[in-house]
């Protein structure tokens, strides 16, 4: 068992452990960035049969887990592990055990295990989890801060200076098990954005995600051909954070908790495009209601909305609890 000397949060070591999925990595890395800790990214690869089993059936030890590059998990163990996604849970808890409790385990999202096994679990309210080690958030944990948005806005300001104001960032996601975002939906979204831009003189800054159906994005692009719009094609530098930093408003499709939460971190009015429901959308709908109840977002009705919106402080609250753990 490896033990370390007492540590302070400013000198703590941190591992960000995920399955490598973009949303999971974004949340875990984002929390580490807000904490200001030096961190290493560990992408977990589970061998069969462990990859098929829930975290509650993870084997004793770190059997079945290795890093994506094939190297094993090995000491020295860090002071803090931030996990997101179920594949990292078993290895993280075993490292906590092997460190004699020195390594603090913070998990983002519902772990499907007793939260008391972790030092902290950050989980959105729509997951309905409570406990002494649980920090309930309205949206997801992310790494967007005002300082980061200001830096990105400075980088993109000149390149987007041709767009009229007010400027609206438009974030397009994709279909999932709950919602449909196909070419027809894309045409409808594009038509609403075009009508709004023509009525208000708005400049649009549009970006898709890796989940966006190419036909859906093409339909949006075609609809906006005759209005002032900068549409990122996926080539060159990603303007995502620049768009958010420069936006006077944000419009985002409702298929991604992460995207909506990041939009709300801009401290600007956020309108959510509600997509056609094709499956079980209960958790998403609870999330959208919670965002509206918190005053952080509203449904997009085709107008350039403004209201007494309230920025979310979820990630900052989670970070403060993690700092308390490290200085305990």
pLDDT in tens, 90-104: 889 989 999 999 999
Query: How much is the average pLDDT of 165-182?
Result: 96
* Residue 8 reports pLDDT greater than 70: no
For residues 186 and 98, membership in a common domain is answered with: no
For residues 250 and 203, membership in a common domain is answered with: yes
Q: What is the mean pLDDT of the chain?
A: 89
Residue the block writes with tokens 């859906």: 216
In a domain, 307, yes or no: no
In a domain, 310, yes or no: no
**How many other C-beta atoms can be found within 10 angstroms of the C-beta atom of residue 53?**
15
* More reliable by pLDDT, 68 or 243: 243
pLDDT score for 309: 78
* More reliable by pLDDT, 292 or 54: 292
SS3 category, 107: strand
In a domain, 2, yes or no: no
> Where in the sequence is the domain holding 191, given as residue range(s)?
146-299
* Residue 18 reports pLDDT greater than 70: yes
**76: buried, middle or exposed (CB in 10 Å: 19+, 13-18, 0-12)?**
exposed
Lowest mean pLDDT among 222-226, 290-294, 310-314: 310-314
* More reliable by pLDDT, 5 or 281: 281
pLDDT score for 56: 59
Give the confidence band of 5 by pLDDT, cuts at 50, 70, 90: very low
For residues 177 and 292, membership in a common domain is answered with: yes
Eight-class DSSP state of 277: B
For residues 237 and 261, membership in a common domain is answered with: yes
Query: How much is the average pLDDT of 247-275?
Result: 94
For residues 132 and 222, membership in a common domain is answered with: no
C-alpha to C-alpha distances, 269 to 9, 169, 181, 245, 298, nearest whole angstrom: 34, 11, 23, 13, 8
How many domains, in total, are found in the chain? 2
Q: Are strands 298-299 and 270-273 parallel, antiparallel or unpaired?
A: parallel
pTM of the model: 0.84
- The percent of residues above 90 in pLDDT, for the chain, comes to 66
For residues 176 and 284, membership in a common domain is answered with: yes
For residues 133 and 156, membership in a common domain is answered with: no
Query: How much is the average pLDDT of 296-303?
Result: 94
In a domain, 3, yes or no: no
CATH number at residue 209: 3.40.50.2000
pLDDT score for 235: 84
For residues 188 and 122, membership in a common domain is answered with: no
For residues 169 and 125, membership in a common domain is answered with: no
* Residue 2 reports pLDDT greater than 50: no
Sheet of 298-299, strands arranged across: 229-231, 203-207, 167-171, 249-253, 270-273, 298-299
For residues 103 and 162, membership in a common domain is answered with: no
In a domain, 309, yes or no: no
**285: buried, middle or exposed (CB in 10 Å: 19+, 13-18, 0-12)?**
middle
In a domain, 270, yes or no: yes
In a domain, 121, yes or no: yes
In a domain, 81, yes or no: yes
Lowest mean pLDDT among 88-102, 196-210, 306-320: 306-320
* Residue 3 reports pLDDT greater than 50: no
For residues 79 and 186, membership in a common domain is answered with: no
Residue the block writes with tokens 């490598």: 20
Q: Which two tokens stand for residue 97?
A: 């055990």
CATH number at residue 115: 3.40.50
Give the confidence band of 312 by pLDDT, cuts at 50, 70, 90: confident
For residues 52 and 19, membership in a common domain is answered with: yes
Nearest one of 54, 111, 46, 116 to 85, comparing CA atoms: 111
pLDDT score for 4: 43
């Amino acid at each position: 068992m490896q033990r370390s000397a007492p540590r302070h949060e400013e000198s703590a070591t941190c591992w960000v452990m995920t399955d490598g999925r973009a949303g999971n990595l974004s949340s875990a890395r984002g929390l580490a960035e807000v904490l200001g800790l030096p961190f290493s990214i560990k992408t977990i690869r589970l061998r069969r049969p462990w990859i098929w089993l829930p975290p509650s059936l993870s084997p004793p030890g770190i059997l079945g887990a290795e890093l994506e590059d094939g190297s094993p998990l090995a000491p020295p163990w860090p002071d803090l592990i931030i996990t997101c996604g179920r594949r990292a849970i078993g290895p993280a808890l075993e490292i906590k055990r092997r460190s004699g409790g020195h390594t603090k385990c913070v998990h983002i999202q519902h772990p499907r295990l007793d939260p008391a096994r972790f030092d902290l679990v950050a989980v959105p309210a729509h997951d309905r989890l409570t406990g002494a080690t649980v920090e309930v958030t309205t949206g997801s944990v992310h790494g967007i801060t005002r300082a980061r948005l200001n830096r990105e806005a400075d980088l993109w300001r000149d390149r987007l200076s041709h767009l009229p104001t007010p400027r609206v960032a438009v974030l397009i996601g994709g279909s999932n098990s709950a919602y449909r975002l196909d070419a027809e939906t894309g045409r409808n979204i594009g038509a609403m954005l075009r009508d709004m831009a023509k009525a208000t003189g708005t400049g649009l800054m549009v970006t898709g995600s890796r989940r966006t159906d190419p036909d859906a994005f093409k339909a949006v692009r075609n609809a906006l051909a005759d209005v002032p719009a900068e549409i990122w094609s996926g080539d060159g530098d990603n303007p995502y954070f620049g768009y958010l930093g420069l936006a006077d408003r944000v419009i985002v499709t409702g298929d991604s908790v992460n995207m909506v939460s990041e939009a709300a971190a801009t401290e600007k009015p956020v309108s959510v495009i509600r997509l056609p429901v094709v499956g079980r959308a209960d958790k998403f709908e609870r999330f959208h209601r919670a965002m509206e109840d918190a005053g952080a977002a509203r449904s997009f009705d085709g107008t350039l909305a403004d209201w007494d919106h309230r920025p979310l402080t979820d990630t900052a609250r989670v970070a403060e609890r993690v700092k308390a753990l490290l200085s305990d």
